[in-house]
Copies of this chain bind each other. A is one copy, B any other.
Amino acid sequence: MGKRNKQFVEKITAMEEDFAQWYTDVVKQANLVDYGPVRGTMIIKPDGFAIWERIRDELDRQIKATGHSNVSFPLFIPESLLQKEKDHVEGFAPEVAWVTHGGENELSERLVVRPTSEALFCEYYSKNIHSYRDLPMLYNQWSNVVRWEKTTRPFLRSLEFLWQEGHTAHATYEEAAEETAKMLNVYTDVLENYLAIPVLRGRKTEKEKFAGADYTLTIESLMHDGKALQSGTSHHFGSGFAQAFDITYLDENGESQFVHQTSWGVTTRLLGALIMVHGDNRGLVLPPKIAPTQAIIIPIAQHKEGVLDKAYSLRDQVKNLVRIEMDASDKSPGWKFNECEMKGIPVRIEMGPKDIEKNQVVLVRRDTGEKEFVALQDLESRLPILMEEIQENLFKRALLHREQKTAIATNMDEFKQILAENPGFIKAMWCGDIHCEEKIKEETQATSRCIPFEQEKIADTCICCGNEAKEMVYWAKAY
């Protein structure tokens, strides 16, 4: 393993020193990702993909449990189809990849490599929805999409990424609104209860909403450096796409009506969130519910008689309770400790000759570093509870961090001071005018993250123009 393992002994950059470099070090050294040959593309390696598979499986379960069916739509969109909805094409056309040749011939019409699939689903719905009895149509797909981004970072912003995109059609505006909210709730549950990432929930401003949407709901999380990450969005399209694509149905009275649509998605960027919310200067820290490996056994003095046998029987004892691995390689225990810390495995189980004598093991938590001696006979009851404790602690810690990095600003000086001294979410009142939003961004680089469902009245006037305030908004610098 020569070259590969040398990386583990080289220390990673401390996050306080250079957060961006720390992030890059972690994704590389935890073996999550590598760069593809085309600029901005990524290779998700086994350890990274196993995490994505666990996120995907839980989310897929919830998507199906809420009545949706998986489908597979094509990769290519004819240029003319993308152009049907005006706002949508304006939002996406500048950042797509174009296929111009197939085999040895130039195509008569250029094809877009899907940046998102609204156009394809709408075309399908226009042909396949006829009557109110066909509604709702609740589709989802797991796919790859391409957006020609200028600056890229693994997971956070890449030329190609993996995601799920739900696309639904409903009889009424209200039903579509209910769907939009329901899927935001599913995302909230997966983030908070599986990834242990607390989220702010709310509506995007007109400026920040999805190209072609009536409104966009969002969940926003806070990274360790005080920057926000948009972590999942759910869009209500009203009947805008239906009008552009002529998607109508006959209602119970035989009258033609436009459908109302939604779309919603989360992406591999969630792996970036996991790293930047829970990670530390020794590497990744994974919440037990999403960790492909929840515990790893590291035998101490494994060359001594009986140690390995005992370690294997320990593994067999608990393998149905937790996802467990064993590192019986010939590397030193210290090396193995560093490796499993870098990978973020929630619990390391040490077992040496002395422990065997005492009929015990040592449990070491990845999140706190705490050691705990546990009698072998208590391990089966202790391990699952310990997993819950770690899961809970990670969520609480992230929530506390967010609270410590959430501040109120009532004027622009305060706003700028917060960003300079303790960046994070800033709560501030806003008049609703896009010019103020743009001015704030220009002066501070912070953008509106969401208009939270839970409103507070902090002041009467807009922080920017001083006119009457309409809403409280969460602002932050964001990825």
Residues of A whose CB lies within 8 Å of any CB of B are 1-4, 34, 36-38, 41-46, 49-50, 52-53, 69-78, 81, 94-104, 111, 113, 120, 123-124, 127-128, 130-131, 133-134, 139, 143-144, 146, 148, 150, 159-160, 162, 250
- In the bound assembly, the distance between CA atoms of A104 and B38 in angstroms comes to 17
Residues of B near A97 (CB, < 8 A) are: 76, 99, 101-102, 111
Identical subunits present: 2
B76–A128 CB distance below 8 A: no
Known: A37-B81, A38-B111. A102 touches B49 (CB 8 A): no
Residues of B near A162 (CB, < 8 A) are: 72
- In the bound assembly, the distance between CA atoms of A95 and B148 in angstroms comes to 24
Residues of B near A76 (CB, < 8 A) are: 36, 38, 41, 97, 146, 159-160
Known: A124-B34, A130-B2, A134-B1. A42 touches B101 (CB 8 A): no
Known: A49-B69, A131-B1, A131-B2. A94 touches B98 (CB 8 A): no
Whose C-beta in chain B lies nearest to the C-beta of A3?
A: B130
Partner among B34, B77, B130 whose Cβ is within 8 Å of the Cβ of A37: B77
Residues of B near A148 (CB, < 8 A) are: 102-103
Whole-angstrom distance from the CB of A148 to the nearest CB of chain B?
Answer: 4
Interface of A is mostly: mixed
Residues of B near A44 (CB, < 8 A) are: 71-72
Whose C-beta in chain B lies nearest to the C-beta of A268?
A: B72
Residues of B near A111 (CB, < 8 A) are: 38, 97
Whole-angstrom distance from the CB of A253 to the nearest CB of chain B?
Answer: 14
Partner among B36, B52, B133 whose Cβ is within 8 Å of the Cβ of A74: B36
Q: List 22 A-B contacts (CB under 8 A).
A: A4-B130, A34-B124, A36-B73, A37-B120, A38-B74, A38-B111, A41-B75, A43-B71, A45-B71, A46-B71, A49-B72, A50-B70, A94-B104, A97-B99, A97-B102, A98-B102, A100-B100, A102-B148, A103-B148, A103-B150, A113-B113, A143-B144
Whose C-beta in chain B lies nearest to the C-beta of A110?
A: B101
B104–A101 CB distance below 8 A: no
- In the bound assembly, the distance between CA atoms of A96 and B105 in angstroms comes to 10
Whose C-beta in chain B lies nearest to the C-beta of A133?
A: B1
A46–B73 CB distance below 8 A: no
Whole-angstrom distance from the CB of A169 to the nearest CB of chain B?
Answer: 14
**Beyond A46-B139, A98-B101, 12 additional pairs, beta carbon < 8 A:** A3-B131, A36-B76, A38-B76, A41-B75, A43-B73, A49-B71, A76-B146, A95-B103, A97-B111, A99-B99, A100-B100, A100-B101
Known: A46-B69, A96-B103, A99-B99. A78 touches B130 (CB 8 A): no
- In the bound assembly, the distance between CA atoms of A70 and B78 in angstroms comes to 32
- In the bound assembly, the distance between CA atoms of A109 and B130 in angstroms comes to 46
- In the bound assembly, the distance between CA atoms of A41 and B72 in angstroms comes to 11
Whose C-beta in chain B lies nearest to the C-beta of A149?
A: B103
Whose C-beta in chain B lies nearest to the C-beta of A139?
A: B46
Most chain B Cβ neighbours within 10 Å, of A36, A130, A143: A36
A34–B160 CB distance below 8 A: no
Partner among B38, B46, B73, B250 whose Cβ is within 8 Å of the Cβ of A78: B38
- In the bound assembly, the distance between CA atoms of A101 and B106 in angstroms comes to 13
B46–A70 CB distance below 8 A: yes
B37–A123 CB distance below 8 A: yes
Residues of B near A100 (CB, < 8 A) are: 98-101
A160–B74 CB distance below 8 A: yes
Whose C-beta in chain B lies nearest to the C-beta of A162?
A: B72
Known: A77-B37, A120-B36. A2 touches B69 (CB 8 A): no
Whole-angstrom distance from the CB of A337 to the nearest CB of chain B?
Answer: 20
Most chain B Cβ neighbours within 10 Å, of A72, A94, A128, A143: A72
- In the bound assembly, the distance between CA atoms of A331 and B98 in angstroms comes to 47
Closest 7 CB pairs of A and B: A46-B69, A41-B74, A36-B74, A98-B101, A103-B148, A44-B72, A102-B148
